[in-house]
Structure 1
Amino acid sequence: MRPDHPAYVIYTSGSTGRPKGVLIPAPQRGRTLPRHRTSPSARTDVWTLFHSTPSTSRCGNCGDPLLHGGRLVVVPHDVSRSPADFRRLLARERVTVLNQTPSAFYQLVQADAQTDAQDPGDELALRYVVFGGEALDLNRLTDWYERHAPDAPVLVNMYGITETTVHVTRVDLDERSAARHPAGTIGGPSPDCAPTSWTPTSNRRRPASPATVRGGLWPGPRLATPGRG
């Protein structure tokens, strides 16, 4: 098996809106693992497998704790559908890294607001909450920041498409930056994605001039994936 051989195929609309099968090469899968290691304490981190296993988000949910020596908590389906029960699981299992879609996190925020913060057993151990899969409405983080310090946990917004295997941009948020960018922000390129051309692609699939067009990004040939059209 060569490094350029496919690791798996995922059926997705990706960036085009047209459902298709996308071949994910092994190097693309491998690049998601070391860059998710948030600190040397990753060996003691606790992650959750919350979202569907066929989704690309499970690259970090499963791969990171297994590679770096952390612990993975498989969330039962009924618990994943109950924000209050999921909030209790996070506290009980001392989860430190949580990957969530924004819509799931908004429900968790409501459950968190209804929790008795005076009970030591209900305290969260989260270090990072990583968003992906949907646009993040920063206005809806206000209630969370009223009850939690901006660095406990750090809220991280990441953006990317299936063809690039999960994420290509990152921004670490705090209460001030959330208020400054209410419409949302996807940050800058992840370190392993640089250099990244912040220009949209033309209909001819060639990078457009950054001086004349705004509003898109071109990750570049290093992140190219077969079947991305």
Structure 2
Amino acid sequence: MFDELSKRIAALSPQQRAVFEQRLKQRGLQAPTLQTIPQRPATGAVPLSFGQQRLWFLDQLEPSNPSYNGPSAVELSGPLDIAVLERSLNEVVRRHETLRTTFAEIDDQPVQVIAPTLTLPLQQIDLRDYPTTEREAEAQRRAHAEFQQPFDLRSGPLLRATLLQLDATEFLLLFTMHHIITDGWSTELLVEEVATLYAAFVAGQHSPLPELPIQYADFAIWQR
């Protein structure tokens, strides 16, 4: 049974593994010791994982299909330092190569292209000019429109962040990511890391998050 569990855990992506270990830590448990995924060489093309390759082929059949968007909305209440929020978001982008990844073809084969740096703008939309009774409906309309905007896998970025302001202390934070760089678990991890970093930065502290030992590209090469 342990061998089977170990295989299943080893097959998790780095983002999935991070959330899994976080859940165990919250319960006072420790993840089993597993064979680690090695870091990839500094040079050479990075192939797609099996899951990424499937989504890449689907995108070739139906370019810019918003069905492959992963939407997420987070309600925020209370005073908000938007500059610190944007800084927190970009620290997460720095930490996770997959959020800086686009896709190209080399010798007719799809590969991952990882940008060394990426500054992701936090789009801000102020809805306070709308009547109070109409703001929530307008926010839902804006969110739906945002989530339906397609991505270009070649040009990227494949993550967007939008902040809707409904009142002085009421906000709706929207994340839209293409499924080729994310899944349900890593979306949750993104939100949790942004929240953790915001709490630290707004208090004048450094990031409490450790550097990641492996990245999704390491996982993709290991899976191959």
> TM-score with structure 2 length normalisation?
0.27
| Higher RCO (C-alpha 8 Å, min separation 6) | 2
